[in-house]
Structure 1
Amino acid sequence: MIDISESAQGHFRRLIEREAIPGLGVRLSASEAGTPRADVRLEFAEPADLHGDEWAVDCDGFTLWLDAASVPFLDGANIDYETKATGGQLQIRAPKIKGQAPADDASLVDRVRYLIDNEINPQLASHRGHVTLDSIDADGAVYLRFGGGCHGCGMADVTLKQGIERTLMEKVPGVTAVRDATDHATGAAPYIPRDSAA
């Protein structure tokens, strides 16, 4: 499940011994798990800090506590501590933390939502924008709502047709069209105002 090297265990053990707090261990969790922004959070934890549903991994001289909700995303994680001439470096690799692409037989909604979260929205973030899935009709037409800098943006139509629609139709079998369900007149902070995009 979690592979924690002897050098990493030694590193944590030395730090814990220096603190001299009875029962002090290490808690590992995933923040924003299953999204492109996912990251690993590692912190010292006393018994009173625990929620009670953590999974315990017995290590040499301490316990590594895994946040219960994070377990599926931390499965297969590797924790290592590498000593270098300039000091040491802790490395945590969690290959499942950002989630796994849905299988080919997953629902159209799941496949579209995964591509939006992991490919489309990270690109739109440079314009302070994002899209959310509104609905998918029986014919495979995907309806999206633009938000942030894309809400009311004069280039939203181009982004939709030349970027988002092309990506979804190429990468998600079953998508037949992509349509905008946003009322752009209500956009409060568009990246490019609609009247200046002419």
Structure 2
Amino acid sequence: MIVLSETAQDHFRRLIEQQEIADLGIRLRAVHPGTPQGDCQLEFCEPADLHGDEWQVECSGFSLYVEGTSVPFLDGAEVDFVRDATGGQLTIRAPALRGAPLAADASVVERVRHVIETEINPQLASHGGRVSLRELTGEGIAVLQFGGGCHGCGMVDTTLRNGIEQTLRQRVPEISGVRDATDHATGQNPYFS
């Protein structure tokens, strides 16, 4: 359940009234959920803009729609608006937005996946790429699978050795090295040829 304070509802209602569009609502979605870069995006939406999987929150004079895929990350969020000398500040507190912290007793595999998802993939995403853990050998070798812009990229060896391997070995001391299991010859849209 998302909680909107009365001042936040008043703020949204005023913005909607200024648009003079019938049945206009507000859509809320999570951007980069489950990562340290997790954030929220708000936008106006008309009924025709809805996909049908949204979670609808009835407010005073309008509806707030939460994008379906964002619900797990925004459930329990609190939206508030505090007036000040410059107009005001809208805040959204969403405890699950950036993902749950890693448990103290997490396995090596869980820790490697956590580092990949929270540190490595957000950086690779700037080039349209991603990486996933395919296997962890008994010798501590992380076998990785590249995708997106990294699949077939001419710089993947540099990224692997100077970026990913160093990061994983620093964050997860049990990792002794990394190996790429990707068939780069089949890459269709590499960032660097």
Task: Give 1:94 shift.
Answer: 2.0
Task: Give 1:35 shift.
Answer: 2.9
SS in 2 for 1:33: coil
State the TM-score, normalizing by the size of structure 1: 0.71
Aligned amino acid, residue 134 of structure 2: S
Task: Give 1:6 shift.
Answer: 0.8
Aligned amino acid, residue 86 of structure 2: T
CA distance in 2, matches of 1:72, 1:21: 30
**Partner residue of 2:170?**
166
CA distance in 1, matches of 2:128, 2:40: 25
Contact kept, 8 Å, 2:108 with 2:172, in 1: the verdict is no
Task: Give 1:163 shift.
Answer: 4.0
Which 5+ residue runs of structure 1 have no aligned equivalent? 170-174, 190-198
CA distance in 1, matches of 2:63, 2:118: 34
**C-alpha deviations, 1:119-149, integer Å up to 9, x for none?**
34557899x7987234223514312468579
Closer/same/farther in 2, CA of residues 2 and 165 from structure 1, 3 Å limit: same
**Structure 2 residue 136 is the aligned partner of structure 1 residue 137:** yes
CA distance in 1, matches of 2:103, 2:110: 9
State the TM-score, normalizing by the size of structure 2: 0.73
**Structure 2 residue 62 is the aligned partner of structure 1 residue 57:** no
Contact kept, 8 Å, 1:160 with 1:178, in 2: the verdict is no
Contact kept, 8 Å, 1:31 with 1:38, in 2: the verdict is yes
Alignment length, in residue pairs? Answer: 182
Aligned residues: percent identity? Answer: 47
Deviant stretches of 4+, over 6 Å: 123-126, 128-131
